[in-house]
Every structure is written in C-alpha cells, then in structure tokens.
C-alpha cells in the first residue's frame, strides 16, 4: 500500500484542523534552521566576547548574550541541528529495530516471542528516564549514547505494537496465499505484512518525536551527553539557570522556548498525521 | 480465589525484579574501559585499582560476578559511594524521605486537580472546563519539566517574591530542623509542635510540587475525561438516566465508579514519569533527595551510587505497579477473576 499524500488530502486535513498547518510552518522553520541555520546566523555560536557578557536582547543581539558573551540567537538556531538530529535518529532507529523485533516475535510466536516479550517487559520495569540516565552513565558521556539510550527506552512501544499487528495478520487470507505461493517467512514479512503495518507505525513515530526531544534535552540538562561549549537547547537552559537569581531571564527562556516550540510542533504534526491515516483513533 | 489471585499478582512482579537486577548488573559491567578504575575513583593508583578489582571480584568470570552481586544485594550492600565515602544504601535511605515527600505532594496536587477537571470536562463537552482540560493536556505534553520549573522560579521567586528562595527543604537560618522521626518535614515539624517551621517547609515544597505535579496532571486528566466519556455513553448510564435518577447519582455512582479503573491503570505511566522527572526537579530546586544525589554521582563518575539509585527507582517502580494492579483488582471484580 503506497501512501502518497495528495494535495487534496492535505487540504482536507488542514481544513479540519488549522493547527496542523501552523505546526507544518513551524516544522519547516525548524528544518530550515537545522539545515542552513549555521550558514545564516549573524554571529559565530561559539565565539566568546568578554566585553558583551549577559547583555539583554537588543538590535545587535536579538536574544541577548550569555555568560561568555556568545550570541544566544545564533546558538538557539544552530542547536536545532543537534537536537532534531538526535531525536530523528533515535526515533528512526527504534522504529526500525522495534518493528523488526516485534514482527519476528509476532510471526514466529513460541520461544522467540517469549524471549523478546521478556526483554521489553524488563525495559518497561524501569522508570524510563532513570534507565536512560543509567545507560548514558554506563556507556559514556556522548551524543551517540544519548541516541542509544533513547532508542532502548523506546523499543518496547514499537515492538509491542508491531507484534500485535503482525499477530493479527499472520493467518489472514492474503498471507496464507503468499505462503501457498512458496514465499519464505522473511519475504512474507518484508513484502506482505510490514508494508501494511507501516502507516500506523509511522503515526506512532511522529507522536514519539516530541518525547524523544524532551528526553534528550532532559539528559543534557543534568549534564549527560552533550558537552559545553556545544550549542544544544537542554544544556543552554541548564547554563542559563544559574543566572535566574540575578534576573538574566533571556539566558534560559529562549533555548527553553525553542524546545517547547519543537515539541509542540511535532505533537501537533503527529496528531494531524494520525487523523489523516487512522481517523478512528481521533480523540 | 481472592488470596490465590493476590499471590499470583505478587508473584508476577518477581520476573520484573529479576530482570531489573540483571540489567543493573550488566550496566555496571558495560562501563567503558576497566570498571575497577571507575569504582576506585579518579585519585586511585595501580595498587588501589588492583585492590578494588579483587574486592569487587572483577577478576572472576561474569557468572561468578553476578552471583556475588546478588549475594551483596541480599545483604543490603550496594557498595560505597566515592563522593560521600559512605555506603550507598545509607546515603539513599537518608535522602529518600525528601524525594518521597516531594513526589507524594506532587501526586496529591495532580490527582486532586486532574480528576475533578476530567470529570467536569466529560460531563459538559465543549464547555469552558473542557477547553481548559484540553489546553492543560497539550501544554503538559509539550513543556519540559525543568523549563517550567525554572520559569516558575523566575516568576514566583525573582519577580513576585511569593515563595522563599528555592534552595533545599527548609531555610535553616530562620527555622530549626525538627528532630527526624519520619523524615517527612511536614510531619516532623508538626510532631515537634513547631508551626513556624511547618509553614517554612510547606512554602519550600509548593513550587517543586506544582512543577512536578503539573505533568502528572495531564495524563490523569486526559484519561479521566476519556474514561468518563466512554462510561457516560454506555447503555447502563442511558438506562439510569431513563429511570429518572438524578444527574449527580448518574455521574458519580454510575459513570465515575466505572471510569475509576481506567484512571487507576494510567497511574503506572504516571509513576514512571514522576520518578524520572523527580531527578530534573530536584536539580532545579536544590532538593536534597535521591535524584540530585544521582545527578552529582553521574557527574563525578561515581558509578556505585548511580547503580544504587537506578536499582532503588526500578524496585520502587515495580512495587508501585504491583500496588496499581492490586488496587485495580479491588475496584473491579472482573480484573480479579481474569487468569
């Protein structure tokens, strides 16, 4: 089932919910920041300037400057690449791995199903943010490990969903027909079953993006993963937090605002996509 | 039947506990490089690293190490924390009440607000309350906890001055710490008869509890609303209405009791969220609980302490889920009799 989005479908969906159109505009802005942002920003995001430390927003520095005199607007824009990059790669990886594991479990059943199910149960036995903390602390403090931790804590959601969907379809007539035609298990899964469960899985993934961003930002807020002087929203909020008692609000409000905007946008897009693909689940 | 299914439920938590212990063990062995170097700390020399390696049994095979780890746990030993020089278990036990007091207050705030909000929103769809409910749910899903906490501090402490300085549980310059009985300052200050200190402790608790509770509020309100809508649309509610029962009776006795099961079942997710976000909130408010302890341990690469914290949180979470299950069984007999 090839899901091509036709213009008419888009207009229909946006007509129902204008918020989705707003979300799409924010999304375009964020993606633009991530791709061409570093080339457009007015100042070098890493350049320190001791003469202009903690300056409030002005015509020169729209979002003000931080404790090292770096331009906050430039840093917020440049950070989009790292923040979105972490979230997108984490979500895509957990989608791929979770779907594979879940599909195998649901199709094979038996021992493998039990084993994979037990692994998912064990992950879910932890408060997820705490497990992510533990994984990053154990594997080492790096951006790659934030992504790995986010993938691991997300796996059960995709895996269980894929398992249930495959399990329903395993004995359906079209799968039976494919089996009679002499297709092997792998081919049946890849060619016949997975394409059918992909649209709802994609909805799940887009609804998951916001959460992945929050998770990564939360980890870097407590000092895990991203290291200074890298520009990243979570760590910028954390650095700005020290100036709260002297009233330099712009140091944490702008990066935090960017974080909220991104999460809000992905949540709305996820809702919009769900309405388009699976109207029954609309709330 | 009752006690048997109760036993089954309790036994059902055991595989989760075993899984949790295996994972925390594996995590500690996944440390890059030589774990003995990590556990020995940054000031160690070759000799002390070797000493640590032997004392931790790291020169043995993995299965042997695992058995040792489990035996140590059985004796209540989680190793020593490098940062404080004390046994990790003592550190955690000493700091746990602060975290529990904060989490319980947040939970109380969330439930007291979210349940009536969800009920009213479902009773009057598209009313002001309904829109408020939906707005709160959207906001609760988009704002990072730590950012909202910081905004609150800026607004209510720095700009308005309504709350005391957000550092710790009690300002010890103005108030004296009550003798520790329960470890909960709200209780201990009352036991000591010190109303001033009680007020001081409560003032410190308000902002962190609200910041943490706000995000537990969103899923509870959403679930309450959805469960109430389902219950209100069902046949038995229609029949109750047709029989001329009062709105109140229909709403609370018929619909709410049935919606309760769904609400209780979301609590598992809510607890996962609360225990995780607790770490972030404690960090913002300088709260001397287990979360801020874990953060400083992570930054100092004090792995024994991190491991102890993760194990404690996971065990607490498994037990909370068990409690949710048991309560669900109490509320709804159908859950109790299912296999």
Tell which B residues from 26 to 85 touch A, by Cβ distance under 8 Å.
27-28, 30-32
> Quick one: average pLDDT of A118-140?
88
Nearest to B158 among A133, A245, A283 (CB): A245
Instruction: Tell how far CA B335 is from the center of its chain.
Output: 25
d(CA A12, CA A82): 33
CA distance to partner chain B, nearest, from residue A235 (Å): 11
- Using an 8 Å CB-CB cutoff, list chain A residues near B144: 214, 217-218, 221, 234, 237, 256, 259-260, 263
Asked whether residue A54 is domain-assigned, the answer is no
Place of tokens 């940054």: B42
Q: According to the model, what pLDDT value does residue B1 have?
A: 45
DSSP A226: S
- Using an 8 Å CB-CB cutoff, list chain B residues near A283: 226
> Quick one: average pLDDT of B22-47?
75
Alpha helices in chain B (DSSP H): 2-29, 35-40, 46-56, 62-74, 88-123, 128-142, 145-152, 185-191, 195-232, 235-242, 247-248, 257-285, 290-299, 303-331, 333-337
Percent of residues, chain A, with pLDDT higher than 90:
10
**Which of the two residues, B115 and A283, has the higher pLDDT score?**
B115
Residue B325 confidence class, pLDDT cut points 50, 70, 90: confident
Q: According to the model, what pLDDT value does residue B339 have?
A: 43
Query: What's the mean pLDDT when you consider all of chain A?
Result: 82
The closest alpha carbon to B60, from B30, B36, B42, belongs to: B36
Q: Is B315 on the interface with A (CB under 8 A)?
A: no
Architecture in CATH of B89-331: Orthogonal Bundle (1.10)
Q: Is B99 on the interface with A (CB under 8 A)?
A: no
Question: Is the pLDDT at B333 greater than 50, yes or no?
Answer: yes
Query: Which stretch, A147-156, A160-169, B18-27, B295-304, has highest mean pLDDT?
Result: A147-156
The reply to whether the predicted model has a pTM over 0.90 is no
> Quick one: average pLDDT of A86-102?
91
Q: According to the model, what pLDDT value does residue A1 have?
A: 43
Q: Which residue of A has its CA nearest to B274?
A: A127
Q: According to the model, what pLDDT value does residue A89 have?
A: 92
What is the value of ipTM here, to two decimals?
A: 0.85
Asked whether residue A51 is domain-assigned, the answer is no
d(CA B107, CA B115): 12
Question: What is the full DSSP assignment across A105-165?
Answer: HHHH-HHHHHHHHHHHHHHHTS-HHHHHHHHHHHH-SSHHHHHHHHHHHHHHHHHHHHHHH
Q: According to the model, what pLDDT value does residue B127 have?
A: 83
Q: Token pair for residue B318?
A: 């498994």
CA distance to partner chain A, nearest, from residue B179 (Å): 31
Q: Which residue of B has its CA nearest to A248?
A: B154
> Quick one: average pLDDT of B39-52?
75
Provide CATH 1.10.3720.10 ranges for chain B: 89-331
d(CA B192, CA B6): 39
Residue B112 confidence class, pLDDT cut points 50, 70, 90: very high
Q: According to the model, what pLDDT value does residue B9 have?
A: 77
For residue B100, with 0-12 CB atoms within 10 Å meaning exposed, 13-18 middle and 19 or more buried, which class applies? Answer: middle
Asked whether residue A233 is domain-assigned, the answer is yes
Place of tokens 């004090």: B302
Asked whether residue A1 is domain-assigned, the answer is no
Contact: B19, A122; criterion CB under 8 Å: yes
Show the domain range for A112.
7-44+64-282
- Kindly report the CATH number assigned to the domain that includes residue A16: 1.10.3720.10
- Using an 8 Å CB-CB cutoff, list chain A residues near B276: 127-130
- Using an 8 Å CB-CB cutoff, list chain B residues near A260: 142-144, 147
> Quick one: average pLDDT of B166-189?
76
Q: Is the peptide bond before A154 cis (omega within 30 degrees of 0)?
A: no
> Quick one: average pLDDT of A17-25?
79
**Which of the two residues, B3 and B148, has the higher pLDDT score?**
B148
Asked whether residue A80 is domain-assigned, the answer is yes
Lowest mean pLDDT among A28-37, A238-247, B54-63, B266-275: B54-63
Query: What's the mean pLDDT when you consider all of chain B?
Result: 82
Contact: B19, A214; criterion CB under 8 Å: no
d(CA B132, CA B116): 12
């Amino acid at each position: 089932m090839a899901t091509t989005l036709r213009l008419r479908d888009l207009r229909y969906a946006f007509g129902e919910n204008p918020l989705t159109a707003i979300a799409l505009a924010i999304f375009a802005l964020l993606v633009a920041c991530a791709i061409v942002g570093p080339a457009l920003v007015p100042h070098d995001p890493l350049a320190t300037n001791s003469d202009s430390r903690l300056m409030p927003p002005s015509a020169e520095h729209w979002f003000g400057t931080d404790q090292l005199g770096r331009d906050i607007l430039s840093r917020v824009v440049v950070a989009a690449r790292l923040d979105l990059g972490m979230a997108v790669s984490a979500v895509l990886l957990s989608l791929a791995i979770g779907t594979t594991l879940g599909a195998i479990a649901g199709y094979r059943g038996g021992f493998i199903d039990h084993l994979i199910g037990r692994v998912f149960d064990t992950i879910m036995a932890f408060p997820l943010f705490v497990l992510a903390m533990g994984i990053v602390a154990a594997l080492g403090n790096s951006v790659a490990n934030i992504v790995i931790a986010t993938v691991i804590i997300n796996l059960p959601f995709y895996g269980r969903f894929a398992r249930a969907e495959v399990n329903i379809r395993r004995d359906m007539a079209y799968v039976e027909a494919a089996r009679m035609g002499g297709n092997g298990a792998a081919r049946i899964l890849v060619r016949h079953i997975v394409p059918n469960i992909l649209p709802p899985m994609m909805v799940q993934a887009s609804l998951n993006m916001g959460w992945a961003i929050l998770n990564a930002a939360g980890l870097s807020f407590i000092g895990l993963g991203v290291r200074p002087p890298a520009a990243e929203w979570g760590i910028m909020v954390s650095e700005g937090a020290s100036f709260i008692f002297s009233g330099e609000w712009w140091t944490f409000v702008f990066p935090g605002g960017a974080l909220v905007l991104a999460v809000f946008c992905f949540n709305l897009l996820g809702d919009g996509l769900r309405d388009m693909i699976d109207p029954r689940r609309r709330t | 039947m009752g006690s048997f299914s109760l036993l089954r439920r309790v036994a059902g938590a055991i595989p989760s506990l075993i899984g949790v212990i295996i994972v925390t063990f594996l995590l500690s062995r996944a440390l890059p490089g030589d774990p003995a170097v990590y556990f020995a700390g940054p000031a160690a020399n070759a000799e002390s690293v070797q000493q640590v390696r032997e004392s931790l049994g790291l020169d043995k095979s993995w299965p042997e190490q695992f058995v040792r780890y489990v035996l140590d746990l059985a004796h209540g030993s989680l190793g020593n924390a490098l940062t404080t020089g004390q046994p990790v278990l003592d550190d955690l036990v000493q700091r746990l009440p602060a975290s529990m007091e904060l989490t319980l207050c947040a939970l109380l705030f969330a439930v007291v607000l979210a349940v009536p909000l969800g009920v009213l929103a479902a009773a009057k769809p598209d009313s002001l309350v309904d829109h408020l409910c939906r707005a709160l749910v959207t906001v609760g899903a988009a704002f990072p906890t730590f950012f909202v906490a910081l905004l609150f501090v800026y607004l209510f402490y720095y700009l308005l001055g309504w709350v005391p300085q957000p550092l710790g549980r009690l300002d010890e310059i103005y108030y004296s710490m009550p003798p520790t009985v329960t470890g909960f300052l709200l209780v201990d200050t009352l036991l000591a008869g010190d109303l001033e200190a009680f007020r001081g402790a409560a003032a410190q608790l308000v902002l962190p509890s609200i910041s943490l509770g706000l995000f537990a509020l969103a899923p509870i309100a959403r679930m309450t609303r959805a469960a109430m809508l389902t219950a209100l649309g069902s046949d038995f509610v229609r029949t109750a209405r047709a029989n001329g029962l009062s709105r109140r009776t229909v709403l609370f006795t018929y619909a709410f009791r049935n919606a309760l099961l769904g609400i209780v079942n979301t609590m598992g997710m809510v607890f996962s969220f609360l225990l995780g976000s607790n770490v972030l909130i404690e960090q913002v408010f300088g709260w001397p609980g287990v979360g801020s302890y874990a953060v400083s341990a992570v930054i100092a690469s004090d792995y024994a302490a991190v491991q102890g914290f993760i194990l404690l949180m996971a065990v607490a979470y498994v037990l909370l889920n068990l409690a949710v299950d048991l309560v669900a069984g109490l509320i709804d007999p159908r859950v109790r009799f299912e296999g």
